[in-house]
Amino acid sequence: MSETIRINKRLSELGLCSRREADALISQGTVLVNGEVATLGQQVTLHDKVEIIGTQKEKVYLAYYKGRGIITHSPAENEVDIATRLKQDYGLTNLYPLGRLDKDSEGLLLITNDGRLTKPLLDSKNNIEKEYEVEVDKPVTNHLLNILAKGVDIEGYRTKPAKAVTKSQYRFLLTLTEGKKHQIRRMCAALGFQVQSLKRVRVANIELGQLKPNQYRKLTEPERKTLFKTLGLPL
């Protein structure tokens, strides 16, 4: 059985309005669940179509290349976050990144205003693949790749099995299905290697491709549909 949540919380997650605003709209009869008028306190699932009559926002799905030095969320003073760059560079607003990349890392982030993607994409139980190109300070060995693939003990936590493939003498591709804080840097450090550069090149079926730092592209409809199927969301 699908997990249910209160409809006002769901509307807030979708970025359509605050919970308080949601209750007011529901009382006015302007909120629909699967085409039927919603009621206060109603429980809904991620698969239910929830909309506000006359104000449904167009959903946006972007692949974005976060450059080094850009903050994903909650920038400190004199730091720049993705939302600010999107507004300054492209006039895009009311969008947010799914997940994080630390300040010194770069690469692919998915950007959207569709809150349905957040939980299924970021929940490690769903085993959504994220692929990284990693450069280290010493030549890559089969021993290193084998241990990374089996799992590494980092401060009492053993990482889940991964995929590790050589790319060049100092570079390899690492595919994870989880995202602990600074996980790849900590995994490599535990094995005596220091990460020199770290770039995410794929999330699920979405690839970074030819994007340059701080560029974006819209997902194609086939990409979006495949992503939604992977996340178990209705098309």
- The torsion angles phi and psi of 71, rounded to 5 degrees, stand at -90, 140
The residue with tokens 């996980």 is 183
- The torsion angles phi and psi of 34, rounded to 5 degrees, stand at 55, 40
Strand bridging mode 195-203 / 106-112: parallel
Per DSSP (E only), the strands in 31-148 are 31-33, 36-37, 43-44, 50-52, 61-66, 96-98, 106-112, 130-136
- From the list 48, 102, 114, 137, the catalytic residue is 102
Nearest of 71, 138, 81, 130 to residue 104 by alpha carbon: 71
d(CA 167, CA 159): 22
The residue with tokens 């290349």 is 65
Sequence-ordered alpha helix ranges (H) in 110-164: 118-122, 142-150
Active site residue 102: yes
d(CA 68, CA 233): 32
Provide the annotated active-site residues: 102
